A and B are shown apart, each in its own frame.
Chain A
Amino acid sequence: GNSVTQMEGPVTLSEEAFLTINCTYTATGYPSLFWYVQYPGEGLQLLLKATKADDKGSNKGFEATYRKETTSFHLEKGSVQVSDSAVYFCALSDQGGSEKLVFGKGTKLTVNP
């Protein structure tokens, strides 16, 4: 079945450091790929998405590129801020009728000033 594997956390960085959170997937067909973020005390929010190979999703300084050849969708940000502290989830959409999401386990990021 479809699955998502993402980098184990937690990740702790200093402000302005470079961030990479690795995500790889296993899927049949051509799923869409997503990064969701959960800030403390809040619900899951869509951060960015890509719907086909070589697409780059970007938002709030974060980027991820859909790499079909390596089945990856790594999340990157050049300079993190304290306000980026959150849990990040990689996900793919099942190409069945409901397009339900399959999530990774999440990676907790803490950014220190």
Chain B
Amino acid sequence: GAGVSQSPRYKVAKRGQDVALRCDPISGHVSLFWYQQALGQGPEFLTYFQNEAQLDKSGLPSDRFFAERPEGSVSTLKIQRTQQEDSAVYLCASSSHDREGGRSPLHFGNGTRLTVT
């Protein structure tokens, strides 16, 4: 497809379970971001990749959160030992760079809605 694809669309996990959320960015997009959006709130930054390098993970809320992008394309956000406060929509976004080195607008996926019971 032409857009950013995220899977699964919905995920229900019992507290304490591990989950893995997948993001397929637009082909050729160098930059990839993960955001967390709690109900009724705006998205909050989690982490940023440029190709396979994770250049900023300052937004990850705890060491239970881990993200990777080993081949510079698909990315996985893993949450270990999920807690109820992890319930949110997790958004992935990607962008390319233009010829002048600037970044194109972010393209967002539809998100994965995680519910921890």
Instruction: State the A residues within 8 Å of B (CB).
Output: 4, 41-46, 49, 89, 91, 96-106
The answer to whether B103 has its CB under 8 Å from any CB of chain A is yes
Establish whether residues B41 and A100, one from each chain, have CB atoms under 8 Å apart when the complex forms: no
Establish whether residues A43 and B45, one from each chain, have CB atoms under 8 Å apart when the complex forms: no
**CB of B62, distance to nearest CB on chain A (Å):** 19
Pick from B56, B91, B111: contact of A100, CB below 8 A.
B56
B contact residues, total (Cβ < 8 Å)? 24
- A43-B108, A44-B108, A46-B105 are contacts. A105–B42 as well, Cβ < 8 Å? yes
Establish whether residues A43 and B56, one from each chain, have CB atoms under 8 Å apart when the complex forms: no
List 7 tightest A-B contacts by C-beta distance, closest first.
A103-B42, A98-B48, A44-B108, A43-B108, A98-B56, A100-B45, A46-B105
- Chain A residue numbers with a CB within 8 Å of B48 are 98, 100
The answer to whether B40 has its CB under 8 Å from any CB of chain A is yes
Q: Which residue of B lies closest to A45 (CB)?
A: B108
**CB of A37, distance to nearest CB on chain B (Å):** 11
Instruction: State the B residues within 8 Å of A (CB).
Output: 3-4, 31, 33, 35, 40-45, 48, 55-56, 59, 91, 93, 103, 105-106, 108-111
Establish whether residues A42 and B110, one from each chain, have CB atoms under 8 Å apart when the complex forms: yes
Q: Which residue of A lies closest to B56 (CB)?
A: A98
Pick from A46, A89, A98, A104: contact of B55, CB below 8 A.
A98
- A98-B48, A100-B56, A103-B44 are contacts. A43–B105 as well, Cβ < 8 Å? no
Establish whether residues B42 and A43, one from each chain, have CB atoms under 8 Å apart when the complex forms: no
**CB of B68, distance to nearest CB on chain A (Å):** 17
